[in-house]
């Protein structure tokens, strides 16, 4: 079965510092990987995806993620965090025999303090 | 282009009642997915419909059911509501097999009292 793991429930970072939100995956076959962000009482907003091609993927709001096949990781990064980046971040995957259904991590609460 | 729309946005039901939630996908998307986000439990997969057929089902009891209409809109029905059904219910849509991207609606907040 496909799965993703987000090892940190919370990440705290100062505004202006770089941020990383970690994600590892387990997928049979080629993975399709996604990052979504959720603000309080809202739906999920798409940030970026990896399907194939360059390992460094650039997305919305200055976020990027690096696909690392050897480490089965897809960490979300941003060079300079903003207070407005504070939200709940979800990593997700689909692929293999269950291509279509999205499997989500537990989510990581990012707090950027001024 | 209109996004994924869900209705209603909020509702309150009494334990034992039945509820129907609705979702309209993005134009051109044929797959619809339903997720439950209960407090502290993350995103739990409920159902996946494509071309009117149920493609996959999560680990939920049969009182959770749904359907997809010829225009690809979808309904989620929950019978015999229990307090633990209180959650944000999210709908997403995609092209067939979804691998190229999913768009989520803003959700329906269900409170069971």
pLDDT by residue (tens digit) across B34-43?
999 998 788 9
- Across A86-95, average pLDDT: 93
pLDDT for res A21: 98
pLDDT for res A101: 85
The confidence band for A1, taking pLDDT boundaries of 50, 70 and 90, is confident
Walk me through the domains of chain B, giving residue ranges and CATH numbers: 5-99 (2.60.40.10)
Domain ranges of chain A: 3-113
pLDDT for res B2: 73
- DSSP character at residue B26: P
Homologous superfamily, domain A3-113: Immunoglobulins (2.60.40.10)
Q: Report the first-to-last Cα separation within chain B, whole angstroms.
A: 37
Sequence-separated (6 or more) residues with CB below 8 Å from residue A104: A4, A90, A91, A92, B35, B42, B43, B45
Q: Does B21 sit behind a cis peptide bond, omega within 30 degrees of 0 on the bond before it?
A: no
pLDDT for res A53: 85
Closest-CA residue in chain B for A99? B97
pLDDT by residue (tens digit) across B64-100?
999 999 999 999 999 999 999 999 999 999 987 666 7
- Which residues of chain A make contact with B48, given a CB cutoff of 8 A? 100-101
Best B50, B93, B102 residue to mutate vs chain A (most A CBs within 10 Å): B102
């Amino acid at each position: 079965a496909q799965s993703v793991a987000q090892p940190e429930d919370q990440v705290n970072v100062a505004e202006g510092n770089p941020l990383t939100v970690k994600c590892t995956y387990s997928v049979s076959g080629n993975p399709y990987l996604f990052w979504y962000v959720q603000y309080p009482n809202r739906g999920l907003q798409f940030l970026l995806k990896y399907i194939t091609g360059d390992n460094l993927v650039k997305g919305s709001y200055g976020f990027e993620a690096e696909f690392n096949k050897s480490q089965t990781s897809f960490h979300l990064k941003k060079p300079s965090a903003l207070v407005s980046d504070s939200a709940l971040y979800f990593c997700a995957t689909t692929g293999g025999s269950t291509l279509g259904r999205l499997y989500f991590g537990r989510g990581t609460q990012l707090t950027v303090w001024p | 282009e209109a996004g994924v729309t869900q209705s209603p946005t909020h509702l309150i039901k009494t334990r034992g009642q039945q509820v129907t939630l609705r979702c309209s996908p993005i134009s051109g998307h044929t797959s619809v997915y339903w997720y439950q986000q209960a407090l502290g439990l993350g995103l739990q997969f409920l159902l996946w419909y494509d071309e009117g057929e149920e493609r996959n089902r999560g680990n939920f009891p049969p009182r959770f059911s749904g359907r997809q209409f010829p225009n690809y809109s979808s309904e989620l029905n929950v019978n015999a509501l229990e307090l633990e059904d209180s959650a944000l219910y999210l709908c997403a849509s995609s092209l067939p097999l979804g691998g190229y991207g999913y768009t989520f609606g803003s959700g329906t907040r269900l409170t069971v009292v």
